[in-house]
Amino acid sequence: MDETPRDDETPGVGPAWEPGTLIGRRYALERQLGRGSNGNVWLAKDQLLDKSVALKVLDPELAKNRDTVRRFLREVALAHAVTHPHVVRIYDTGEQDGLPYFTMEYIKGQTLEERIDGDEGRLDFKALRRIALQVLDGLESAHQVGVIHRDLKPGNVMLTHRGAIVLDFGVAGIEEAPKGDPSASSIMGLVRTEAGTIFGSPAYMAPELWEGESASVRSDLFAFGVMLYQMITGRLPWTAKTPAGYLQLLATTPPPPIRALRRDTPWPLLRLCMRCLSTDRAHRPGSAAAAIDLLSPLRSVGRRRLAFAGVAAAGVLAAFAWARAPWALRATGLPDQQTRTDLDAAVRMFDAGDDAAALRLIERLSAQAPNSATLVFWRAAVYHSLGDASGRAAACRTEGPLEGSAQWLRRAKAACAETFGTGTSDPQRAGDLLPLWVETALVPRSARGEDTAEQARDVLALLEREDANPLLPNRAQQARVHLEITLGRTDEAQQHLSDLVDAAPRIPLFAARLAWLASRRGQDERAATLASRVRAVDPTPALALQMDAGRMREAWEGIEALGEEHPHAPALVELWCTMAWRYGAQDPPAQCRAAHEGFAHALWSEQPDGLAGTLADPCPEVGDVSTVLTVAPWGLETVLTEAALRGALCRAGDGDPQALGGAREHASRLLAATPDSPWALLLAADVAERSGDAPLANAHRLEAVQRWRDADPDLPVVGALRTRVQGPPAGPRTAEHER
């Protein structure tokens, strides 16, 4: 048999797409999940992120048409902008063997179609209403960024542990078919494309789509109406044996009355369904939000639409959407609506992790309203986030009495206190500032070794509520990650951060935090990639990684290049001075002598206290350490466990027979949590040596030397380690040597 490929065959298609194949040098195919009208869906393993994904590849026949390929990739790019709990997340796109593909989250569950057609009986109205609201939520988030689904149907809705999730946004209906009237024998299987417009399954197609008009928000809502009718009654509103018969029914005959098929249907569901099924699109709801209002009039749009990463483009909630009336402006101490709008923008920048941009805008606004309590609070909050104590102090100096409501006055006062606060000690009353409360009230207590587990669990439950924190959605996600670390759920925290970075790659807050956590866990290449990605916005991860490697001169050159006026400079100088102490500097380097406050100054003081005292004490007394990693300043995340280990070694030296076992346990936990940390390796070497295992001690020290292979040669700790491992350097030969 002649197996020479024909000219019209797509090269590489066929055997290349089979279990075990590596796609895009990243995705290992495992098994085929299904076949759609325009291609196959595979279960694949993302080898970079070590997670399962669903990979959809365009059908080879469709891939022959480059216009179709371009449209496919364009639709995927649009759908990628949608980030919402009830919309499948799209991760990546690529092309292999001439076939474009994209990856999305792998979701386990039951399709709505399977539920409707299954043996479980009709959906009860409570579940039905919940599914309808979740689907509309997902549609609204997509419509807000200009993405139309085009093929909404029960088969494209998955019922999962996190609720109903809408699949195949914008890409389900890409297919080429003959122009003209449909001629398929089954109306359910027909899809057609006209004038470059993507259409979906005809049973769910709005009448205007049959006329060749473009898909729209209202055509998606017609499809939703058909789906809702099915959910209520168990059948389609119109059925026919031929396309022509179906079109005739659609144009002339209303669907059977819902209450004739299900007498107890609630009026809100009935009204919503019939409005969406109107053949006159002007009579349908104008948006998914309007449809939600028909079903749940008291449901607040602002509290409804918290995206998974809080970053749906053009869907980020205004920080002070309530502050529109003159009395509301007076409550904030802001002079006019324009100032309020600008502050909204600054808060969104802060929420995304672009602290420098947020600060520049807030500084300009503060010149216009120097006594606004709201501006004082946010200015102080940004300086606190940047680690700039002197900047925060300057932000709190006003020309006159603060202006604003009692709430904002209380918040401004707390932000300007010796320790930054949000104006309440009760997380239940923190409201939309709960993420900041976590970072400034709960996390520092955990870093000091206090038992915060019970409160952390309670606050995590508050943050996980669907309607929580519309003001700072990204900071809320970061707070959740930090609480997971506080509770010892480090793997869960890293997966959470990875999902956030996948869903919102342009949000520097998430990438910078994942760079930090990846570096702690020995994932250097990943940390460096993420640090490089955010360096223009937040240089801290990139410079901190240099300090970790002992390249202190290079790091200082990077800090100097930023300039003294750079918003991140004060915190970076503080970090550099802290690391200089850790590397064994006996006296403050010249660039650190001017500091009269901060952690580095406390380390060099005659009697350091608090966390600095714990780090400086060679034989500290530390209680039970529940988790190895804490959310502390960069480089200090394992200080408590290190201190507990040193204290145990001291007690072992004093003859305590049980202390050495405790030291071994701490060393094991340190190496498990931070496997490549030279500090952990040095302490583990001390424990091995005290236990009589010299080969293991030497192995740990050799590995630490390797980790510091690029370190500056004049760092005392590194120099002493190299001498111990390699022996003293040979000096010049003298006459005495010759004799």
List active site positions. 151
Q: Residue 372 has what DSSP assignment?
A: B
Nearest to 628 by CA among 674, 587, 582, 594: 674
Contact between residue 688 and residue 696 where contact means Cβ atoms under 8 Å apart: yes
Q: Residue 564 has what DSSP assignment?
A: T
Contact between residue 631 and residue 637 where contact means Cβ atoms under 8 Å apart: yes
Helix, strand, or coil (residue 90): strand
Token pair recorded at residue 87: 């919309």
Dihedral through CA 208, CA 214, CA 220, CA 223, nearest 10?
Answer: 40
Contact between residue 191 and residue 62 where contact means Cβ atoms under 8 Å apart: no
Token pair recorded at residue 545: 């990684």
Helix, strand, or coil (residue 54): strand
Nearest to 508 by CA among 479, 471, 478: 478
Q: For 101, what's the count of Cα atoms within 13 Å in the CB-facing half-sphere?
A: 26
Helix, strand, or coil (residue 158): strand
Element (H, E) at 290: helix 288-295
Beta-strand pair 22-23/27-36: antiparallel
How many angstroms separate the CA atoms of 590 and 581, rounded?
13
Looking up tokens 């200089």, which residue turns up?
580
Helix, strand, or coil (residue 288): helix
Q: How far is CA 377 from CA 325, 392, 479, in A?
A: 21, 10, 19
Nearest to 57 by CA among 80, 26, 35: 35
DSSP one-letter string for 368-431? HSTTBHHHHHHHHHHHHHHT-HHHHHHHT--SSS-BS-HHHHHHHHHHTSSS---S-S-GGG-G
Q: Is 308 exposed, middle or buried (CB count within 10 Å of its CB: 0-12, 13-18, 19+)?
A: buried
Q: Apex CA 165: angle with CA 159 and CA 169, to 5°?
A: 135
Which residues on neighbouring strands pair with residue 441, listed in sequence order? none
Looking up tokens 């400034």, which residue turns up?
440
How many angstroms separate the CA atoms of 483 and 735, rounded?
66
Which residues on neighbouring strands pair with residue 95, listed in sequence order? 100
Nearest to 67 by CA among 176, 170, 149, 168: 176
How many angstroms separate the CA atoms of 295 and 301, rounded?
13
DSSP one-letter string for 91-105? EEEEEETTEEEEEEE
Backbone angles phi, psi at 42, to 5 degrees: -115, 150
Token pair recorded at residue 634: 């960069």
How many angstroms separate the CA atoms of 429 and 415, rounded?
16
How many angstroms separate the CA atoms of 735 and 365, rounded?
75
Contact between residue 616 and residue 602 where contact means Cβ atoms under 8 Å apart: no
Token pair recorded at residue 622: 């530390």
DSSP one-letter string for 301-320? HHHH---SSS--TT-PPPTT
Nearest to 112 by CA among 168, 61, 150: 168
